[in-house]
Amino acid sequence: MTGPRFRIAPSPTGYFHVGGARTALFNWALARRLGGTFVLRIEDTDIERSQPEWTQGIIDALAWIGISADDPHFEGPYFQSEYAAEHIAAAQQLVAGGHAYYCDMTAADVEARNKAEGNQGYQGWSRDRGLGPGPGHVLRFRVPAGSTIVHDLVRGDVEFDNALIEDFVLLRGNGSPMFLLANVVDDMSMRITHVLRAEEHLSNTPKQQMMWLALGHEAPVWAHLPLLVNEQRKKISKRRDKVALEQYRDEGYLPEAMVNYLMTLGWTPKGDEIQPWAQMEGDFLLEDVNHSPAFFDLKKLAAFNGEYIRALTVDQFAAACRPWLLAADAPFPADRFDEQMFLAMAPHIQPRCVTLADAAGVVDFLFLPDPVIDEAAWAKTFGATESVAVLRDSIVAYEAVVDWTAESLKASLEATGEAHGLKLGKAQASVRVAVTGRTVGPPLFEALEVLGRAETLRRMRAAEATLA
């Protein structure tokens, strides 16, 4: 690939964040449309917090949202920890060019001096002391006078007063590279042309741009993507919010719905908001990204997911639900699951599911030896006494029904209800509780048809006996 080079640079220190997924998708859309490259760089220099399983988690999460390592536009993963020598060499280049200098002051020294002088931050104290490397000596960048203008495709030109930026550390006292340096040097050696990332990195950008220039390069195109906020308009965070992409996957969100929803966070697709990836990939422009915070709206995400679920064929829906139907924590034992019964029921529950995981809880009564009857449910029908009478009569009527179909079961219960002065809605409540255990659920008569005459009647008789 010869086109522009994009990248994401996640740290493998936890679950892959939905914000990271949005950043990845924006990069991916552009890399693919512009015939460019999407580089995955794992920033794993925090040895204590980085774990190989998190790296695998990132790769899996990306694959789930369609960013496949097998795609020709994909490059990597590269591991930052393997490039320490390059980071240090770049630091030496900065020293040689007069852009960096050593300093032997510890954090405590800096604090004490600030206290004595009534200052804040590092005041360039070692700039002209001519110190060389040595144990405990940090390397600092010599921030030039003047100001730095970051041209940001989302935020416009952002000007920073260099006087407010202290001479930041490039190499720690033990010689190891700091994040800001490693991040820039890797972007440079990976020939990154566009840096699209979370807004929280905007404050790092003037420092990074100074390094690019000092190392003799032109800065990349910058684009800082708007914050994702929750209902309280607070930045979403793992302490407060559900931010792990994996969690949405595990809860039964469809990747296509997630991708579509994430793309709308900060960008407005042309026309209908619900649209396929190919269209978004074709239309997405950084210039159209809004800089105000984007509300990560769980209700809207759920609505997107419901739409995508309804758009599946019944077979696709049934196949997509399988992992939850057969899961160890499903509400019924896996060996009682019956594919044909589920397929028969699927068209009736598909329109009601917000997530794929919902299906198991809606059809559980089909596969449980007995429905789990919520005792309070009887009170919600019209009381146990009346329920017994309706149940008794509908058992008799159902024994006589010729065709065990939803239609005739409905007609039969309608007649039974009428004899008791009850509308169908009321009359069916007792049958529903007796058979499914609950007062709400999937269309009842379709459920009875699927469950079959023998089992339906057995449950109705059992409920009648218990109530009586």
- Least separation in angstroms between residue 225's CB and ligand GLU is 10
Give me the least distance between CB of 184 and ligand GLU, in Å please. 9
Query: 198 — phi, psi (to 5°)?
Result: -65, 150
Our measurement of the distance from residue 429's CA atom to the centroid of its chain's CA atoms, rounded to an integer in Å, reads 39
Of 174, 197, 106, 180, nearest in space to 143 by CA:
180
Least separation in angstroms between residue 205's CB and ligand GLU is 9
423-435 burial, b at 16+ Cβ within 10 Å, e below that, comes to ebeebbbbbbbbb
Of 129 and 217, CB closest to ligand GLU: 217
**Cβ-proximal residues to 97 (8 Å cutoff; 6+ apart), any chain:** 214
Query: Cβ closer to ligand GLU: 11 or 350?
Result: 11
CB of 241 to ligand GLU, least distance (A): 17
Q: CB of residue 10 vs ligand GLU: minimum separation in angstroms?
A: 5
Going through 90-232 in order, the beta strands assigned E by DSSP cover: 100-103, 138-141, 147-152, 156-161, 169-171, 194-198, 221-225, 228-229
In whole angstroms, how close is the CB of 8 to ligand GLU at the nearest point? 7
Tell me the CA distances in angstroms from 196 to 37, 160, 258, 434, one per residue in order.
13, 19, 20, 57
- Look at the alpha carbons of 318, 323, 324, 325 in this order and tell me if their dihedral is positive or negative: positive
Chain CA centroid to CA 288, Å: 22
CA-CA distance, 293 to 290, in Å (whole number)? Answer: 8
Residue type present at position 88: I
Active site residue 238: yes
Residue 65 near residue 25, CB atoms below 8 Å: yes
Question: DSSP letter string over 158-185?
Answer: EEEEGGGS---EEE-TTSPBPHHHHHHH
> Closest approach of Cβ 28 to ligand GLU, in Å?
14
> Nearest distance from residue 9's CB to ligand GLU, in Å?
4
Nearest to 174 by CA among 82, 88, 83, 50: 88
Beta carbon nearer to ligand GLU, 43 or 446:
43
Of 238, 270, 380, 423, which residue is the catalytic one? Answer: 238
Distances in Å between the alpha carbon of 443 and those of 166, 261, 368, 385?
67, 30, 18, 25
Question: What would the two tokens of residue 127 be?
Answer: 């700039």
C-beta of 51 vs 119, nearer to ligand GLU: 51
Is 442:450 a contact under the CB 8 Å cutoff?
no
183 vs 394, beta carbon nearer ligand GLU: 183
- Between 42 and 309, CB nearer to ligand GLU: 42
Q: Which is nearer to ligand GLU, 165 or 448 (CB)?
A: 165
User: What is the smallest separation between the CB atom of 41 and ligand GLU, expressed in angstroms?
Assistant: 8
Output the CA–CA distances (angstroms, integers) from residue 202 to 158, 181, 205, 287, 354, in the order listed.
9, 15, 5, 17, 37
Q: How far is CA 393 from the centre of its chain?
A: 51
Under a CB-based contact definition with an 8 Å cutoff, are residues 40 and 21 in contact? Answer: no
Residues of this chain that interact with ligand GLU (CB under 6 A) are: 9-11, 43, 183, 197, 201
Residue with tokens 């550390």: 169
Q: Closer to ligand GLU at the Cβ: 148 or 355?
A: 148
Which is closer to ligand GLU, CB of 201 or CB of 322? 201
Catalytic residue set = 238
